[in-house]
A and B are shown apart, each in its own frame.
Chain A
């Protein structure tokens, strides 16, 4: 056993693109700790969160990462479905009204109180979902047909529905892009994906149109009532993007303050103390969490914001390179899925902060304060490192190659 672990560690030490990803992740986390320290103890941010993130959660996350780097991929694959089942059970548990040790935080029952920490089952669910989906898709071709796409979507809907029940729209929102990325990588037909995306966009457009024509502040009633699908608070958040002035004191408050601070940051930012003061007196909600990007741009300016986005791209490309180098279909899809999931979450968060996406409570992975999220993300990175260091199986059927351009693959 000891030998095996040592062998694996030696394998891990080999140079491979996973290291860029880890470096980017550590830099993002460091940037995050510095950004959190900017707002440590400001407004409703408890004092000492930066320290907790850097000294407690980061080591735990790194340990989780190391642990994830050890087991053989096959073992991980086998554990995928049981893990997802376990995550789903936990998700069912937190939505049971009155379940013990489930605190209600910000109106959401998304956590389980483990005594030492609050654990967020949806984070586990995200990891398990990607693993299970990759395990499911790895040898199939069914998703190359439109009907074959239904099963992956049906699988996705179970955790999404449970997370929506908590309710935690932000977490639920990252599942769909992740699945799309995985399906695209796995070789689903682009016209199918395009049609589905088109339907999705159409649904979004229809909802926006309904909100535009029958806005929450001037509901006409009657037949119009049937046109509304979104919850009233969600509609208000969309409306807040259309009419920011009108919702300035309510639903548009958070994005408007975030945009103000981003705008105030300018090219090189205002520095730590000034940023702290500005965040405090502009009353930026959730500055250590959902709105950390605004803090970053305010403190380090556009350069800081650009750096964050660049690091995410590095991280994503690292995941993709590992996938590209790997021959194991499971590892390939897992890496693509994790990369896509982290990137999608980051983009949704940043999109909210800069005012391109309606407000959703979602953290900036690696950067925002939060133990579960950090541990989950580093677990993903650990798995990616795990796959990166495996020697390619010499004789293996190339996976996800349905377009045989090179005779080598046919």
Chain B
């Protein structure tokens, strides 16, 4: 080859030139090859799309979250238009003053700047910074004045924003780091992904929801600042510079119009001890907050979690983006997908100026079965200042000092539909700024007691246990048992009737007693027998059938199942499927603890004659309720209803009839009330100083005694079948009839006042 070459090209210089030319051609070929690789086939398509993507600017168009209405169409939650005064993050973080000073220093020392050492530059910048710091400070003071808040409050708001951004950014960074690591399959240092996040380039609300006057002041200053910015740098007014970084943000804020309700309530129907002819004005706050829920900022889980809904401009415009608001709990959370709506999208073609639009789809409204007036009234009734939920003389509660506030829950169920008319939990949900403190509050104001706290149902379970025993033919429908105070003579102290306390000189027994009277007098012995004859297996199975020990399906995500022994799994100590547990469960004690909604739903099933329907908070969209027949013998239902009728109406032995001193509990005219009380042993609440879960000698007892239940079946006079179930529970209240009874009575008055009875 070489020889041939030398033969044809004898000159070495020429051969070298040829060598160089061939090398050059190869280099050129490599370049063409690479260009061809990019510009042909699939790569060409990919690059073409990528290049064209840069021609468009997608905008998202905000949607409006659906409203939440009460059953009468009153708006309980809606997105309202608000204006916030927002300040750019650079001013909040102090970066703005530094950058301004840097620019000023560069202007002033333009000639020398490139030659200065970094620390000399820094010193010059710091020298220039003072006036900008002052401007920022004046801005904060003016905002404090405009917003009529303390300067310190502005500072607190700023630090909250900084904190939030720090949290979000560190969270995002770790997320990006993980993503990148997964992508590259190698460790990636955090510093590499620690880019500024969007929020660091945005204005953040300092004054929320400002009125028209503040808006006009702020608008004027912003306009002045914009004019100022048009002038040459030297002529700019330094005092207006910072206002370039202020915005009036149009935001949508969730409003809850019935959050605070003022009511004028009649005191003339209260127990005589606190009765008054004068009505009382009472203001309740956070009405129905436990039910409605609240909004929060979107979390990472909402976006990428197992049930996350990531935003995707092509697939899901409703998906979550950082900074979105999302239902935190209650209906706002449960009905998120209905309420949320879909964003719109507009794509601006930058080259042609055309815009493709997909209009936003507003969220749908949710109508609740709640009547907000009833809800507010019940909340007022449960408020300690009204008098029924502070420990009173007539309560006869030896465990808690007089005047102590009591907390609890009340549920009003519509028997026909299973709809919840009111669901109240006290103490009410805390105000926004007190939530952190509420987490540690021993009264647990964050918990929605009707669905998310468990209590032994006590005697309220007795009619149900009887019906179960009769259904299972464990007893006859009209079975008689003899109550001589003690269930099992071998254990005279273990299972006794409530009136039989020889150590206190009480020897009350019921003798031979049938179901209706047993329910009316709440005789323990009768139901011990029922429990024993049913046995634990059948009893638990029956209770599950009645909706105990599992979520009822009411639309609140907070709902818990309650506690019952498991039929198939191993049970923890105390929850075994033993006969003694069956006996205890016969009177609603022992291994059973349920949220009040289950008790209300069970009594509603009884009121329907043995047909269980899952309770619901929804009117529309149409709720999906489960329902099933309990197949109770008609005679048993009759006996049970007769028993609770007598319990409420028999002045001699009805346990739900009178307060101490024979004062009737119920005093609403025009209604028929059946009722069952319950006084359920409650666990001692103590301060667990050493965190061992047990009460030790030196640890202070916070609460003890019994939970007080009162379940009323109410119908207007002339109606046989109950229209509403009212279930009241007062934690550590003591006697069911004396404490919860008057509350149920007031709820009946409230229902009458609002036209429901």
Contact with A along B182-213 (1 / 0, CB 8 A): 01100111001001000000000000000000
B123: chain A residues at CB < 8 Å are: none
* 8 more CB-based (< 8 A) A-B contacts, given A313-B28, A316-B24: A97-B115, A184-B16, A185-B17, A260-B51, A283-B54, A324-B11, A324-B13, A347-B27
Shortest distance between the CB of A43 and any CB in chain B (Å): 12
A400-B11 Cα distance, complex, nearest whole Å: 9
A21-B252 Cα distance, complex, nearest whole Å: 69
Residue on A nearest B12 in the bound complex, by CB: A403
- Is A281 among interface residues, defined by CB-CB distance under 8 A? yes
Given contacts A263-B44, A340-B20, contact A332 B13 (CB under 8 A): yes
Q: How large is the interface on B (under 10, 10 to 19, 20 to 34, 35 or more residues)?
A: 35 or more
Offer 12 A-B interface pairs, CB within 8 angstroms, sorted by A: A260-B51, A263-B39, A263-B51, A264-B48, A264-B52, A266-B48, A281-B55, A302-B36, A347-B24, A347-B31, A401-B11, A401-B12
Q: Establish whether residues A317 and B39, one from each chain, have CB atoms under 8 Å apart when the complex forms.
A: no
Shortest distance between the CB of B112 and any CB in chain A (Å): 9
Within 8 A of B (CB), among A255-286: 259-267, 277-278, 281-283
Residue on B nearest A347 in the bound complex, by CB: B27
- Is A374 among interface residues, defined by CB-CB distance under 8 A? no
A249: chain B residues at CB < 8 Å are: 195
Contact with A along B29-54 (1 / 0, CB 8 A): 01110111011100110111011101
> Which of B6, B24, B55, B183 has a CB less than 8 Å from the CB of A278?
B55
A33-B14 Cα distance, complex, nearest whole Å: 35
Q: Establish whether residues B50 and A104, one from each chain, have CB atoms under 8 Å apart when the complex forms.
A: no
- Is B10 among interface residues, defined by CB-CB distance under 8 A? yes
Q: Establish whether residues B24 and A277, one from each chain, have CB atoms under 8 Å apart when the complex forms.
A: no
Stretch in A12-20, A116-124, A350-358 with 4+ CB within 8 Å of B: A350-358
Contact with B along A56-76 (1 / 0, CB 8 A): 000000000000000000000
Q: Which B residues lie at the A interface, using CB under 8 A?
A: 6-7, 10-17, 19-21, 24-25, 27-28, 30-32, 34-36, 38-40, 43-44, 46-48, 50-52, 54-55, 114-115, 180, 183-184, 187-189, 192, 195, 350-351
Within 8 A of B (CB), among A297-356: 297, 301-302, 305-306, 309-310, 312-313, 316-317, 320, 323-324, 332, 336, 340, 343, 347, 350-351, 354-356
Q: Establish whether residues B12 and A302, one from each chain, have CB atoms under 8 Å apart when the complex forms.
A: no
B19: chain A residues at CB < 8 Å are: 184
Q: Which 7 A-B pairs have the closest CB atoms?
A: A263-B47, A406-B10, A264-B51, A405-B6, A263-B38, A403-B12, A354-B34
Given contacts A260-B51, A403-B12, contact A218 B350 (CB under 8 A): no
A246-B13 Cα distance, complex, nearest whole Å: 47
> Which of B14, B32, B38, B55 has a CB less than 8 Å from the CB of A306?
B32
Given contacts A277-B351, A302-B35, A340-B20, contact A185 B51 (CB under 8 A): no
A261-B46 Cα distance, complex, nearest whole Å: 11
Q: Establish whether residues A409 and B51, one from each chain, have CB atoms under 8 Å apart when the complex forms.
A: no
Shortest distance between the CB of B27 and any CB in chain A (Å): 5
Q: Establish whether residues A351 and B351, one from each chain, have CB atoms under 8 Å apart when the complex forms.
A: no
A184: chain B residues at CB < 8 Å are: 16, 19-20
> Which of B10, B12, B34, B54 has a CB less than 8 Å from the CB of A408?
B10
Q: Establish whether residues B351 and A281, one from each chain, have CB atoms under 8 Å apart when the complex forms.
A: yes
Q: Establish whether residues A347 and B28, one from each chain, have CB atoms under 8 Å apart when the complex forms.
A: yes
Q: Establish whether residues A277 and B55, one from each chain, have CB atoms under 8 Å apart when the complex forms.
A: yes
B43: chain A residues at CB < 8 Å are: 263
A347: chain B residues at CB < 8 Å are: 24, 27-28, 31
- Is A366 among interface residues, defined by CB-CB distance under 8 A? no
Q: Establish whether residues B13 and A185, one from each chain, have CB atoms under 8 Å apart when the complex forms.
A: yes
Q: Establish whether residues A104 and B52, one from each chain, have CB atoms under 8 Å apart when the complex forms.
A: no
- Is A48 among interface residues, defined by CB-CB distance under 8 A? no
Given contacts A260-B47, A283-B54, A405-B12, contact A355 B39 (CB under 8 A): no
Q: Establish whether residues A266 and B13, one from each chain, have CB atoms under 8 Å apart when the complex forms.
A: no
Shortest distance between the CB of B500 and any CB in chain A (Å): 79
B20: chain A residues at CB < 8 Å are: 181, 184-185, 320, 336, 340
- Is A98 among interface residues, defined by CB-CB distance under 8 A? yes
Within 8 A of B (CB), among A388-408: 398-403, 405-406, 408
B195: chain A residues at CB < 8 Å are: 249
> Which of A266, A313, A408 has a CB less than 8 Å from the CB of B24?
A313
Shortest distance between the CB of A269 and any CB in chain B (Å): 9
Q: Establish whether residues A259 and B47, one from each chain, have CB atoms under 8 Å apart when the complex forms.
A: yes
Given contacts A246-B180, A259-B47, A263-B43, contact A320 B17 (CB under 8 A): yes
> Which of A185, A260, A305, A400 has a CB less than 8 Å from the CB of B35?
A305
Q: Establish whether residues A265 and B34, one from each chain, have CB atoms under 8 Å apart when the complex forms.
A: no
Within 8 A of B (CB), among A208-244: 217-218, 243
A31-B388 Cα distance, complex, nearest whole Å: 94
Q: Establish whether residues A324 and B17, one from each chain, have CB atoms under 8 Å apart when the complex forms.
A: yes
Q: Establish whether residues A403 and B6, one from each chain, have CB atoms under 8 Å apart when the complex forms.
A: yes
- Is A141 among interface residues, defined by CB-CB distance under 8 A? no
- Is A245 among interface residues, defined by CB-CB distance under 8 A? yes
Shortest distance between the CB of A403 and any CB in chain B (Å): 4
Shortest distance between the CB of A305 and any CB in chain B (Å): 5
- Is A41 among interface residues, defined by CB-CB distance under 8 A? no
- Is A54 among interface residues, defined by CB-CB distance under 8 A? no
B187: chain A residues at CB < 8 Å are: 218
> Which of A263, A313, A336 has a CB less than 8 Å from the CB of B17?
A336
Q: Establish whether residues B6 and A282, one from each chain, have CB atoms under 8 Å apart when the complex forms.
A: no
> Which of B34, B50, B192, B350 has a CB less than 8 Å from the CB of A260?
B50
Residue on A nearest B17 in the bound complex, by CB: A320
A401-B16 Cα distance, complex, nearest whole Å: 10
> Which of A302, A316, A408 has a CB less than 8 Å from the CB of B39?
A302
Given contacts A185-B16, A356-B30, contact A343 B24 (CB under 8 A): yes
Shortest distance between the CB of B52 and any CB in chain A (Å): 7
A267-B43 Cα distance, complex, nearest whole Å: 12
- Is A170 among interface residues, defined by CB-CB distance under 8 A? no
A259-B351 Cα distance, complex, nearest whole Å: 21
B55: chain A residues at CB < 8 Å are: 277-278, 281
Shortest distance between the CB of B187 and any CB in chain A (Å): 7
Given contacts A245-B183, A262-B38, A302-B39, contact A323 B52 (CB under 8 A): no
- Is A187 among interface residues, defined by CB-CB distance under 8 A? yes
Q: Establish whether residues A266 and B31, one from each chain, have CB atoms under 8 Å apart when the complex forms.
A: no
> Which of B25, B39, B114, B189 has a CB less than 8 Å from the CB of A313?
B25
Shortest distance between the CB of A275 and any CB in chain B (Å): 10
Q: Establish whether residues A405 and B10, one from each chain, have CB atoms under 8 Å apart when the complex forms.
A: yes
